[in-house]
Each structure stands twice: as C-alpha cells, then as structure tokens.
Structure 1
C-alpha cells in the first residue's frame, strides 16, 4: 500500500477491511505516522471512526440478543487503547516506528521521500 501510494505514475489507492476500522485504522495510522503527522492527530483521526460508525453500530446491536450485546461492544468501535497497543507492539518488536518502516515494511528513505512527495502538500517545516 505504501509503495503504491508513493508511485507518481500510479492510480489512486483504495484500502479497506470488513468494518473499516481495524486493519484500515492501523494502515491509516501507520501511513499518517510515516508522513510525520503528530500522534495526537493520528489518534484523533482514528477515534473519528466511532462517530462515523454510530448508525451502523446501532443497526448491528438491534440484531443482537440482549444477552450478548454488551460482549460485542468492544468489537463495534475503536478505542484509544487499541491504537496504543498497536504502536506499543511496533515498539516492542522493532524498537521504533522508523525501524518498523525500514525492517517491517521494507521502506527505504527514497520510498518514504516519494510517499511524502505524493501525499503531502505545502512546504516542509525548516
């Protein structure tokens, strides 16, 4: 996904998962972090899924038996702790997010520069 998004001759990139919050949420958080977006903004954007999924989750709950509705609650939304656990796992397994990009995703500095060039608008901060 990262290299496709960085391709200046490529098409638009569409990525998703079943509910659009778990794998997609992590992919978006990782992409924004790779672009240098502050963690507070990444978390805020991730948590926005709860707002956008409100109607869907209401419908999903309506079809659940009362006895299991509470058990499904953690599956229907996103929580700050979910994203924090993902970043903590990256830190534990790779030592840093940068090392995750280079060793885990096998992106080099040219890949990251191309990604930033394709997706960021404006002048970089000095």
Structure 2
C-alpha cells in the first residue's frame, strides 16, 4: 500500500482508522490520482479550525490502483460526489471505489456548453477558442450555473455521518470553486482559500508537464510545424492555475450577493439551520 507523505506527522482518528498526515500537507498520495486532499486543518478568522478527516477534494477516480482503493477505505470514505457529466464519465470511465460507497452524481455543465467545448479542446489540442480569460469566465459562470450542485454538496456534507470526497475531472475548476465556497463560508480567510486552490499546480505538476508535452506534439503535427514553434499560451493558461481565476469566483459572489453569507442563503438557498449544521459539523 502507498504510504501517506510524511514529514512531521500528525495523526487523527476517523470513524474507522487512525490516519497520519504531514504537518505541512493535507495531500493523500495515490498512484491513480495526484490531486486528492483533505480540505480540513485551515484556521478561520475567529480562531477556530476546519476539522480534518471529514471532507476531501479530488480529481477523477477511474484510474485508482487496488492500493489506492484500499487507502480510500482506510480513510473511511462512504460518499463520493461526482461533478462530471455523463459524456465525461463515458469517455473517462467510472470511479474505482471501495465496496458500499454511495455515489452521488451532480453533473455540472454550463448553459452555453462550455464544459463540452473544453472537453473537445482537451481531446483535439485545439484551444484556439479558449483564451486565458476563459479561465476567469469559467469561475464566474460556476457561481450561477452550479448553484444547484453546490447547494446539494453542502447539504451532503452537513448530513454525512462519515467522510466524503467530491471531485470533477482534474480537481481544479469545478472542484476548486466548490472548495473555495465551502472554506470561505466557514470563515477561512480568502488568502488561505486562494493558496489552497493553487496547490493543484503543485500536486498536478508532473501530470501537467506530461500532458502539455503531448498536446504540443499533437498540435505541431496538425499545424505542420516544429514542436518548439507551437504557441502554448492558451493551453498553458488552462492547465496551470492562477490566483486570479479563483478570485473571479469571489468577485462574482460579492457582485451578485454582497457576501459569501448572502450567496449561501440567497444563491444556494441554504437555510440558517442548514448552514449552522454545516458549521457545527466541520468547525472545532
């Protein structure tokens, strides 16, 4: 079984097992998914802390090894919330999970078909219609287009009695936005929320380098030019995240609702009772 990455280890007790983490990392080392992390451990503005071992964020899970699946079982995960569309799942495959894990499908697709366009760009390496600014637009659109899914996720977290993980394809845009909304609503400072978002660059670095190299070669063949002549601006902007991308989520929420509390109540439709249940579940 793969081991957790350990430096100065800190241990916690889940409902089933003792699990150790690195003091400076919430990352869970899996062979088949590089961006699997605990969202807990962050301090809030009022001095409390988000509990560890309750909620995890990730990219897709079809390529997990047997050892990876055993780690999910060791973490005690009993619910997986999946933001992928039917088309994405058909092309990428179903998640590999421990037995008796409940799967909740909350597919997120923008009204203008942006998710489908992005999937096509990934397949063909043609990002000509995906300028760097599209990344900010994705996060702005998710504030509205994914309200139903994000509301359902927060309710799942509040009601879940055992650990839960939510994911999209890479654990970046849809999952990153969901995580930002969750942490910000719990009182985690935005600077910390932003840093958590950018950690995807760290954990996906090897994967991204490999994918960028593949896309460069593919595009060079299509354009009949040398690989070093390929303009990678749009592609790199999509695969390498910047803080301004998630800042667009914050700015859109403030523009529409005035505050994260307003968004939780008016945008997502959570009652004060439901939101208090979420905070009671995750804050210590």
The alignment's TM-score, normalised by the length of structure 2, stands at: 0.40
The alpha carbon displacement at 1:15 in A equals 1.1
Q: State the Cα RMSD in Å.
A: 1.4
**Distance in 1 of aligned mates of 2:238 and 2:279:** 33
Return the match for 1:35 from 186, 192, 195.
186
Q: How does 1:84-95 map to 2 (within 5 A)?
A: 84-95=247-258
Unaligned runs of 5+ in 1: 122-126
In structure 2, the residue matched to 1:124 is: none
1:70 maps onto 2:227 in alignment: no
| Conserved 8 A contact 1:17-1:23 | yes
Higher Cα Rg, which structure: 2
1:3 maps onto 2:155 in alignment: yes
Write out per-residue CA displacement over residues 24-69 of structure 1, whole angstroms, 9 at most, x where no aligned residue: 0010010001111111111111111110110110110110223143
Aligned length: 120
What SS does structure 1 have at the residue aligned with 2:165? Answer: coil
1:107 maps onto 2:270 in alignment: yes
The alpha carbon displacement at 1:112 in A equals 1.5
The alignment's TM-score, normalised by the length of structure 1, stands at: 0.87
Unaligned runs of 5+ in 2: 1-152, 217-226
More helix as a share of residues? 1
**Relative contact order, CA 8 A, sep 6+: which one is greater?**
1
The alpha carbon displacement at 1:107 in A equals 1.1
**Distance in 1 of aligned mates of 2:213 and 2:267:** 40
What SS does structure 1 have at the residue aligned with 2:179? Answer: helix
More strand as a share of residues? 2
| Conserved 8 A contact 1:34-1:112 | no
